[in-house]
């Protein structure tokens, strides 16, 4: 059974933005964050969008790697018509890199990955013994803990 959005107007606004509120100013983001916290439907859709975005980045990265590997194999073995095969491999790499760049710029993947990294660093920081935490430079502690 499909869940209903708790506030359809806010839900439609978020859907229009692909559930990306990372570009909003902090004072404007509060209501949308509250909505995402309260609305299971919108939170689930946001999760699906982020999974798709990260999947596209991963797929483009793997594709670029495979094309570079193909280029290296062609250079190493030097088959007949190697020039055209090398051109095809480099074109595939360039297209994969372009797709990676477009996805990285058009989606909030970098912000999402950075937030996940910060949360992981915060968890590690919180588990460290107090004497080790005190040895960390102040600016690093501020970046990790946010305070």
CA pair distance 52, 43, nearest whole angstrom: 14
How many domains would you assign to the chain? 1
pLDDT tens, residue by residue, 70-118: 999 999 998 888 999 999 999 999 999 999 999 988 888 887 778 778 8
6 within a domain of the structure (yes/no): no
DSSP of 100-138, one letter per residue?
A: HHHHHHHSSHHHHHHHHHHHHHHHHHHHS-HHHHHHS-H
Quote the domain boundaries for residue 147: 108-147
97 within a domain of the structure (yes/no): no
Res 1 pLDDT > 50 = no
46 within a domain of the structure (yes/no): no
Among the listed residues 3, 10, 8, the one whose alpha carbon sits nearest the alpha carbon of residue 32: 10
114 within a domain of the structure (yes/no): yes
Among the listed residues 81, 16, 87, the one whose alpha carbon sits nearest the alpha carbon of residue 49: 16
40 within a domain of the structure (yes/no): no
128 within a domain of the structure (yes/no): yes
143 within a domain of the structure (yes/no): yes
DSSP code, position 79: -
């Amino acid at each position: 059974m499909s869940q209903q959005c708790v506030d359809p107007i806010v839900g439609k606004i978020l859907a229009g933005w692909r559930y990306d509120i990372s570009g909003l100013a902090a004072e404007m983001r509060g209501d949308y964050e509250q909505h995402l916290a309260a609305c299971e439907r919108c939170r689930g859709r946001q999760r699906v969008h982020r999974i798709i975005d990260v999947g596209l980045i991963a797929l483009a990265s793997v594709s670029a790697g495979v094309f570079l590997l193909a280029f290296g194999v062609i250079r190493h073995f030097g088959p007949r018509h190697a020039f055209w095969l090398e051109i095809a491999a480099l074109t595939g790499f360039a297209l994969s890199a372009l797709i990676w760049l477009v996805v990285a710029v058009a989606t909030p993947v970098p912000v999402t990955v950075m937030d996940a990294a910060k949360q992981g660093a915060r968890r590690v920081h919180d588990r460290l013994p107090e004497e080790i935490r005190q040895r960390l430079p102040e600016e690093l502690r501020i970046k990790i803990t946010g305070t």
